[in-house]
């Protein structure tokens, strides 16, 4: 049986994800939260700036934990919240 999705639950999960990211890396900046996903099948999208010049071991650990949580939310609640993690140099270069 497919669960009915609610905007309130989605907002709660988005907020939870943003808090989770801040706990992993307190200096991370949430650049933008899009309540609608960018592609079909996505319920929301969060853009995050990590406080590192380039991708490094700490960024890998943050990414692993974030993407694990994305998967858990999708499995437990049926919502897909995409997260884009970028470093300072990636943002300056204008890459995704």
In the chain, where the domains are located: 28-93
pLDDT tens-digit series, residues 37-96: 667 778 999 999 999 999 999 999 999 999 999 999 999 999 999 999 999 998 888 755
Spatial neighbors of 58 by CB under 8 A, at least 6 apart, are 25, 52
Assess contact for 16 and 53: CB atoms under 8 A: no
d(C-alpha 94, C-alpha 39), whole Å: 20
Query: pTM for this structure?
Result: 0.88
Spatial neighbors of 45 by CB under 8 A, at least 6 apart, are 33, 34, 36, 37, 38, 81, 82, 83, 84
∠ CA 1-74-36, nearest 5°, is 100
pLDDT tens-digit series, residues 28-44: 999 999 887 667 778 99
């Amino acid at each position: 049986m497919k669960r009915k999705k609610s905007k309130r639950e989605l907002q709660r999960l988005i907020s939870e994800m943003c808090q989770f990211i801040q706990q992993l890396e307190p200096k991370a900046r949430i650049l933008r939260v899009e309540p609608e996903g960018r592609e079909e099948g996505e319920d929301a999208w969060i853009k995050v700036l990590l406080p590192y010049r380039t991708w490094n071991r700490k960024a890998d650990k943050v990414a692993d934990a974030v993407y694990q949580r994305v998967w858990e939310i999708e499995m437990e609640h049926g919502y897909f919240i995409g997260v884009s993690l970028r470093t300072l140099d990636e943002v300056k270069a204008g890459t995704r």
